[in-house]
Structure 1
């Protein structure tokens, strides 16, 4: 069980070249832009520059890529909202190009960044984010499922996550209990969006058996994968920086196929991920590994043996997990 209608999308319309972009006259907000370039902060200046240019983040990303700088739309959005700041050399180079693309005077944005901020265990790694669709890139129906819920970004940072997975006597998933520590990255956050994948495309989808500190909202699914996108409404609306804890339990259908892994995808850095797996005494695998990969279905970038106890239990602790997929994977007889 991995925690975290197919349609093809047409190519975007013609994007003007660099000279064309430079020729675009600022729209409404130009006066605000002049003021905020003098006073900051960086995110306010970037937001004003984007609005004044009339360009979408998708167009801006495309032009940056043409100049050799790969920055995701999600990262640009985070910079614009103040959720993260450009820190790495390539990110700083992107800001230089943004000044050119958006018609901002040289150093107009860069000067608002100041010195690089310290990093450490409790410091959020700013520009290390990936789009949710990229993390789940082999699931072509996911963008449409998320679009039906209105957004790919619920405004919540997964500070910590704890998954406890139980298997039955056949080696199939029985229950998964998840506890999430969440922090709002903006005002007005009232829901959490979770992505779930079952093990058996021919079987029924997992169901929510219990939800605490939240209530179940809309569900969208693609049974052929199987994939579920769920909306959990928080007990209260959070302001930026506010925190909450939620817990939910999933119950898996009887007669499911044997599970071979359990894990969670992170599209932005977290502080801690703890994963526990309890095997039934009649179905204990021969070996288990803790794995990290760039995407949910990607080949492991690292894999380390993990001890299975005499009681058939195994766990893994991932400190400061960056974007990607963290999991336990096991082999049966």
Structure 2
């Protein structure tokens, strides 16, 4: 499934699974932010919260791991904490289990957030599922029912790459979104792509499909109280496992929409590349812009980096190997 988005747009969906942390007697009362991070992830947020709650320095952690026979550098611990790398090798995962003990985290509290090991090698083999739709869209209770009306919660497509080009009007509201997706079939007999569109204002109509290429528009199901719409796009041909296709669609937004403050896309399993462009109108250019990542559609960001807005009023960012979670651009008006 795919979800394209701004605060009022949708975000990309793919079927996946994340195991729940097992609660084994914690050795101490954990602070609320750490408990929340252990429940919802991602791994780097939970590790950072556990380290801060422990009061231990990375050097002290390194020393205690070494006493247990596990050699992990301070740099590696810092990279794990900031999400720049993940514990993948058996040696590294052994260190994470010791970290749970040293930091007073319930058994498997951190390990379970890592999900299955990522296969090594070409991206075509990176189809491990790591996040459930319900976690990514935890605030939208009607979404499972809308998906069920289309007879599927998994369209069988992996998002290899995505490119979103979002245009705003002179009021700062969304005008058009053009999306290009590179898709790969995870099984035989895949014949459609499922798209979810989310709007933040129930009083404003959702965007409409103005153009679809290499596919045709099928059924639409909506919950106007959110508002939320699920659409199916039938592919030009049925794909066998490993088969690829490219599709493109353009969404046109109503002229009554309110000012947008975000545009982005969510991923449930790893992709190769996500490129996001935003074109502001010359009469409505924000004062600053930044990129961020968060674990769910309605959730706090776990990282933020400034993004340059050009003299022409354009901003863009490239996310390499995105997912799971939401990657987005945010901006602030005068």
For this structure pair, what is the TM-score category when the shorter chain's length is used for normalisation? Answer: 0.5 to 0.7
Question: SS of the residue aligned with 1:241?
Answer: coil
Using structure 2 for the length normalisation, give the TM-score: 0.66
Give the distance between the partners of 2:118 and 2:293, measured in 1 at CA.
Answer: 27
Q: CA deviation at 1:88?
A: 7.4
- Give distance in 1, aligned partners of 2:291 and 2:136: 18
Q: What residue in structure 1 maps to residue 231 of structure 2?
A: 230
Q: Contact (CA 8 Å) 2:119, 2:125: kept in 1 or not?
A: no
1:3 maps onto 2:4 in alignment: no
* Distance in 2, Cα, partners of 1:127 & 1:204: 36
Residue 230 of structure 1 deviates from its aligned partner by 0.7
Give the aligned partner of residue 163 of structure 1.
Answer: 164
Q: Secondary structure at the match of 1:3?
A: coil
Q: 1:123 to 1:241 in 2, by over 3 A?
A: closer
Matches within 5 A, 1:54-65: none
2:214 aligned with 1:213, yes or no? yes
For 1:210 and 1:119, the matched residues in 2 are separated by 38
> Aligned residues, how many?
238
Aligned equivalent of 1:176: 177
Any conservation in 2 of the 1:277–1:313 contact (CA below 8 Å)? yes
Distance 1:118 1:130 in 2: 16
Compared with structure 1, are the counterparts of its residues 279 and 190 closer, same or farther at alpha carbon in structure 2 (3 Å cutoff)?
Answer: same
Contact 1:124 1:269 (8 Å CA) reproduced: no
Question: Structure 2: which 5+ residue stretches go unaligned?
Answer: 1-5, 12-16, 26-37, 39-87, 95-116
Matched with 2:277 is: 276
Cα distance in 2, alignment partners of residues 198 and 228 from structure 1 = 9
Residue 239 of structure 1 pairs with residue 236 of structure 2: no
Aligned to 1:189: 190
Shift of 1:66: 7.9
Which residue of 1 is the match for residue 145 of structure 2? 144
Q: What does 1:42-191 align with in structure 2 at a 5 Å threshold? A: 119=120, 122=123, 124-125=125-126, 127-191=128-192
Residues 1:166 and 1:264: Cα distance change in structure 2 (over 3 Å) = same
Who wins on radius of gyration, i.e. which is larger? Answer: 1
Aligned to 1:36: none
SS in 2 for 1:144: helix
SS at match of 1:301: strand
What is the TM-score when the length of structure 1 is the normalising length?
0.66
1:258 equivalent in structure 2: 259
Deviation at residue 266 of structure 1 after TM alignment: 0.4
Q: In 2, are the aligned partners of 1:214 and 1:234 still within 8 Å (CA)?
A: yes
Return the offset for 1:122. 3.0
Question: Cα RMSD between the aligned structures?
Answer: 2.8
Contact 2:118 2:128 in 1 (8 A): no
**Residue number in structure 1 paired with 2:63:** none
The answer to whether the 8 A contact 2:289-2:308 is kept is yes
Cα deviation, 1:180-233, whole Å, max 9, x if unaligned, reads 000000000000001111242211111000000000011111112221111000
- Residue 124 of structure 1 deviates from its aligned partner by 4.6
Question: What is residue 324 of structure 1 aligned with on the other side?
Answer: 325
Q: Secondary structure at the match of 2:123?
A: coil
Question: Using the alignment, how far apart are the partners of 2:264 and 2:125 within structure 1?
Answer: 22
